[in-house]
Amino acid sequence: MQLTIALLMALRAQQPTTPVKETVVVTGTYQPVGMEEMDRAVRSLPVRNLALLSNTLSDFLKLDPSLDLRSRAPNGLQADLSIRGSSFGQTLVLIDGQRVNDAQSGHHNMDIPLPLEGVDRIEVLRGSGSAMYGSDAVGGVINIVTHRPESVELTLRGALGNFGTNQQRATLGFTKDRLTQYFTASRDFSTGFIPNRDYRNGSVASSTWYRSTRVTLAYNDRPFGAEQFYGNFNSWERTKTWLASARQGLGENTSASFTYRRHTDLFVLYRDRPQVFTNHHISETYTGALRHTQELGSNMRLHFGGEGYGDTVVSSNLGQHSRARGAGYAAFDMRALKRFSLNAALREEVYRGFPGTFSPSISGGVWLAPQWKLRASVSRAFRVPTYTDLYYRDPANLGSPFLRPESAWSYEGGLDWNNGRNWRASATVFQRRERDGIDYIRSSPAEIWRAMNIQRLRFTGVELSAQTQTHGQTLEVAYTGLHGAQTALGALQSKYAFNYPVHSGVFSWTASSLPYGMLARTRVGALERLGRDPYAVWDLYLARNAKRIRPFLQFTNLNGAVYQEIPGVVMPGRAIVGGIEIAVFGASRSFQ
């Protein structure tokens, strides 16, 4: 409370003089546009300039109360990401616009193989995105945009903390003529805050740009103790992810891309008795796309293209399966800056083994005044069941090969205010109406969970936010309220759909101009899940912005909250990590 009062007094004493720099986004739009020109609820979360004041990508996702990160372990080791009350399988994850969702299980969608230092920013599209991105974009989309260095740099970073935490990271980047290369590597391990919650998490990645070509290669390996993760079992698991992605410009308005992702999952139900129940899954996914933009006039563009997908799974539990699909899309975009915008898109996706899916969307915005913009959108989304949804079986869960694809209509309207200098505010109301939603259901705790299609799911909510930025300080307050309705379940129990946050609020403050080169960032997140007690978690990050040697301290759960984001899976109490980043050469950061 004293920190908040002191901050507000400091802000009141200062005169706003520095305009807020406009943010350009590429997610939820067919061409890069300024944030103010978006007619969808999109947010950009800066990563690169705040990496010293953060530990993992999860730290940034927690800044948006509409993003529900249901973690099973600290530091983003394994987490399910939901947007606006969606299931974790209804969130699409992209890296540089290329889909990386897991065909085996949505639980692995957040197995991001990129080290933190390899990421420039995270862009979030709240609401349906299937007209543009296809399956899985029911609740929303997150796009992880990689960092491109502008000069030669070499950095080393190391840290230690309680629970046996030990971290090392390194970056190497250079640019020469038209060639740019960036290497990143990270290693993070812990002995665990309770027994059988130990983990190791290692990643390496390479990003290459040459003229109009971009190539990304990445690998991640994470073995971990999975105590209580999937029920009352002392489980153990090891996942590995390989990613290869390439994009080639074919002239000014045409591009081709290809992505290959391989994921392996070794799961042991009883760590001390692996012979009782062990699964090994291998999934592979191929994605190719050809996109073109045609100028129709000074304010109008036509975007169209085609995409192809293929995925396979070879599993000791799920069996051996494969499927393929193709899609074609077209979108008409018309906009006059600071006046109005309109986008209408159509997408037809054809699956082998499932009926074709048509996904239309329309969105628009109009400036009511120089500081006020009104926006609205209507869109349809869908999701094809994962192989786990269809075929999985263990002592506690049973999939169903008769599941139908999910579909949903999403509606939203919003009002944005920007005074053009250092204050912003936004209000959005939304509703999602689902059909054939997939969840695991049971009638009593004595029964196992069974995958089923459920009907008439409704999620209605409101999003409010206000931000001020001045003299190197940013203060933001945001809130999301959500109400879900489904009367047909009756006395049946839902495993995932009704664990959503009814109320979620975030207070965050970032300062990059404190005395003696000090940097600070703090976040207080308060959350109340349906039918459960509310809790709040306070995190604090401190660092010193020196030219070469940059020490930092990270305090998580400072208030010692006792909480569970997934029922039955306890989260750690207070923790501290301290370390040093060394800029051997280059790698200057603005921290703005």
Distance of alpha carbon 287 from alpha carbon 358, whole angstroms = 19
Q: Is the dihedral of CA 170, 590, 111, 241 positive or negative?
A: negative
Q: How does pLDDT run across 253-269, given as a tens digit for each residue?
A: 999 999 999 999 999 99
Supply the pLDDT for residue 17. Answer: 40
Give the domain ranges of the chain: 2-585
Is residue 134 a contact partner of residue 343, using CB atoms and an 8 Å limit? no
Supply the pLDDT for residue 587. Answer: 60
When the pLDDT of each residue in the chain is averaged and rounded to a whole number, the result is: 90
pLDDT score of 204 more than 80: yes
Distance of alpha carbon 70 from alpha carbon 88, whole angstroms = 9
Three-state SS at 358: strand
Q: How does pLDDT run across 8-37, given as a tens digit for each residue?
A: 333 334 333 444 456 788 888 888 888 888
Distance of alpha carbon 317 from alpha carbon 197, whole angstroms = 25
Supply the pLDDT for residue 5. Answer: 37
> Contacts for 21-25 with beta carbons within 8 Å, 24 or more apart?
21/592, 25/123
Is residue 439 a contact partner of residue 497, using CB atoms and an 8 Å limit? yes
CA distances from 530 to 289, 325, 385, 493, 494 (A): 40, 37, 25, 13, 12
The neighbour count for residue 382, using CB atoms within 10 Å, is 25
Mean pLDDT of 497-515: 92
Q: How does pLDDT run across 270-300, given as a tens digit for each residue?
A: 999 999 999 999 999 999 999 999 999 888 9
Supply the pLDDT for residue 488. Answer: 67
Helices in 113-266 by DSSP H: which ranges? Answer: 130-133
Supply the pLDDT for residue 588. Answer: 57
Supply the pLDDT for residue 589. Answer: 59
- Name the pTM for this structure: 0.92
pLDDT score of 311 more than 60: yes
Mean pLDDT of 174-200: 94
Distance of alpha carbon 460 from alpha carbon 462, whole angstroms = 7
Distance of alpha carbon 168 from alpha carbon 581, whole angstroms = 10
Helices in 2-119 by DSSP H: which ranges? Answer: 2-13, 58-61
Distance of alpha carbon 289 from alpha carbon 306, whole angstroms = 6
**What is the architecture, at CATH level 2, of domain 2-585?**
Beta Barrel (2.40)
The DSSP result for 408-473, as a single string, is EEEEEEEEEEE-SSSEEEEEEEEEEEEESEEEEEESSTTSPEEEEEE--EEEEEEEEEEEEEETTE
Q: Counting Cβ atoms within 10 Å, is residue 15 exposed (0-12), middle (13-18) or buried (19+)? A: exposed
Poorest-confidence range of 223-237, 441-455, 575-589? Answer: 575-589
Is residue 362 a contact partner of residue 378, using CB atoms and an 8 Å limit? yes
Q: How does pLDDT run across 88-105, given as a tens digit for each residue?
A: 999 999 999 999 999 999
Where residue 554 falls among pLDDT bands split at 50, 70, 90? very high
Tokens of 155: 């950095």
Mean pLDDT of 481-498: 83
> Contacts for 278-282 with beta carbons within 8 Å, 24 or more apart?
278/316, 279/315, 279/316, 279/317, 279/394, 280/315, 280/316, 281/104, 281/313, 281/314, 281/315, 281/316, 281/317, 281/318, 282/313, 282/314, 282/315
pLDDT score of 395 more than 60: yes
pLDDT score of 353 more than 80: no
Is residue 334 a contact partner of residue 300, using CB atoms and an 8 Å limit? yes
Residue 372 Cα to chain centre, angstroms: 28
Distance of alpha carbon 363 from alpha carbon 422, whole angstroms = 27
Poorest-confidence range of 8-22, 102-116, 403-417, 459-473? Answer: 8-22
Where residue 140 falls among pLDDT bands split at 50, 70, 90? very high
The neighbour count for residue 535, using CB atoms within 10 Å, is 17
